[in-house]
Structure 1
Amino acid sequence: MDTTTLGLRERKKAETRQAVHEAALRLVVEHGFDGVTVEAIADAANISRRTFSNYFAGKEDALLYGEEERFRRLVALVQEQPPGHSAWQAMRATILDLYEEVGTPDREWAIRTRLAKKHPALLARQLANHAALERELAQAIADRRAPARPRVMAAAFLGALRLATFQWIEEEEARSLLEVGEEILDEVARPFT
């Protein structure tokens, strides 16, 4: 099998995942989390229930797909930071890099965060994703100069990002998420810099 075919298949899979994610988010906004079934999401994405199951374990996973993709990109960007950066500097620089790539968070980000705060099943899935991200981020900074254990630094960094997101939403997006995030990261960074 040539790489062109493999590349096309991977793009098609990514497009299907994104379509399912967008359908899930749209339906949940329209009908509420509890008012949406996997079957309804599959129908809205124009796929079968079985195809849905090939991509996602449940509607929680479909809703959180965009967040998971950002997590993967965050870890990759940390790994790409110059070797001379300390662990905290590498994570901090990544926020600016990710912001430049993705831009201002969209309404989807705020909607997902609000939904997760209201629905235990979604919150549980999101917390599991965050725990996995914490482990991956700790691995990504393990070889960098750090005044604390990598897992402690990763947890502090991600906790600051979560707090920034919650504060941004509570302020009804009066300031940019980047501005709120940098303010909180500055506070949290004191022991690590």
Structure 2
Amino acid sequence: MGGGTEQLPRGRHGLTREYVTDHQRGRILNATIACVAEHGYPDLTVEAIVGAARVSRRTFYHYFRNKEEAFLAAYDDVARRLATRLRGIAALRDATFAQRVEETLRTVLTFFAEHPAEAQLTVVEALAAGPAALRRRHDALLAIVDLVDRSTHALTDGDDPRRLPPITAETVVGGVVEVVYSRVERGETARLPELLPDLAYCVLLPYLGPATAAAEHDRLAGGDTPDGPREGV
């Protein structure tokens, strides 16, 4: 959703039922994200959500049975918003592996830096929100691992004995996630984009070797893109 928790106008407002439904549900999701970031999932209550969303308990229970359902819906909403940003990278047919890694990391780190409450919910609190949330997180990580592994197939011939085992992608992705987790958990979410050069180096190292990884690290640390300096960096 990405919006706020503004209430609808009172009385006859001429708004469609669909708009009212989307607006109310969006307010609940945004309130859930904010409350999870403030209190953590274990201390999250329906009372806190309805208070922040400025809706009645009846309205909350019209959409969700409990706080877990609201959390999972908020998680899915954040995931969709991030996926929308990443979709353009997948469409870059002529991009190199290094360019895809750079743009993917930049997009994710920037998204979380711009939305610290969303980062807290998806990266940290999902671990405490029960089996369903853990499955969502697990499935998301598996999808990323599979994407990374498939993206590296073009780097070597299929029969090349130097081809790295699939567990390499799992190790790389797991390491990046742990680094991001530790920063979000420590309240350093706003500084996540600063990690781009180092994380890009770590991802590229096993696939492209130390020389290429170091060159990409130095370029990113200097604020350059493959076509020259980035504006505003």
Superposed CA deviations along residues 85-113 of structure 1, whole A, max 9, x for unmatched, are 23x5323322334556x483333145324
**Offset of residue 61 of structure 1:** 0.6
Instruction: Give the helix-richer structure, 1 or 2.
Output: 1
In structure 1, the residue matched to 2:200 is 185
- 2:41 pairs, out of 11, 33, 43, with 33
Q: How does 1:1-193 map to 2 (within 5 A)?
A: 15-29=23-37, 32-38=40-46, 41=49, 45=53, 46=55, 47-52=59-64, 58-73=69-84, 75-86=86-97, 88-97=98-107, 102=111, 104-112=113-121, 113-117=123-127, 119=128, 121=130, 125-132=133-140, 134-135=142-143, 138=146, 142=150, 145-147=154-156, 152=167, 155-169=170-184, 172-173=187-188, 176-193=191-208
The percent of aligned pairs where both chains have the same amino acid is 19
SS across alignment from 2:64? helix
Partners of 2:164 and 2:207 within 8 A in 1 = no
Q: 1:128 deviation in Å?
A: 2.5
In structure 1, list runs of 5 or more residues that go unmatched. Answer: 1-7
Answer with 1 or 2: which has the greater Rg: 2
Length, aligned pairs only? 180
Q: CA deviation at 1:187?
A: 1.9
Q: Return 5+ residue gaps in structure 2 as ranges.
A: 1-15, 157-162, 209-233
Determine the C-alpha separation between the residues in 2 that align with 1:51 and 1:171.
33
Distance in 1 (CA, whole Å) between partners of 2:190 and 2:38 is: 27
8 Å CA contact 1:135, 1:151 repeated in 2: no
Aligned to 1:5: none
CA contact (8 A) 1:78 1:141 kept: no
TM-score normalized by structure 2?
Answer: 0.54
The CA deviation at 1:186 is: 0.9
CA contact (8 A) 1:99 1:178 kept: yes
Residue by residue, what CA displacement relative to the aligned partner does 1:45-77 show, whole Å, maximum 9, x if unpaired? 433413236xx9713313424541244235513
What do the CA deviations read for 1:120-175 (whole angstroms, capped 9, x no partner)?
Answer: 517x6145234235326735874762456896565345324312312323664297
The code of the aligned residue for 1:22 comes to N
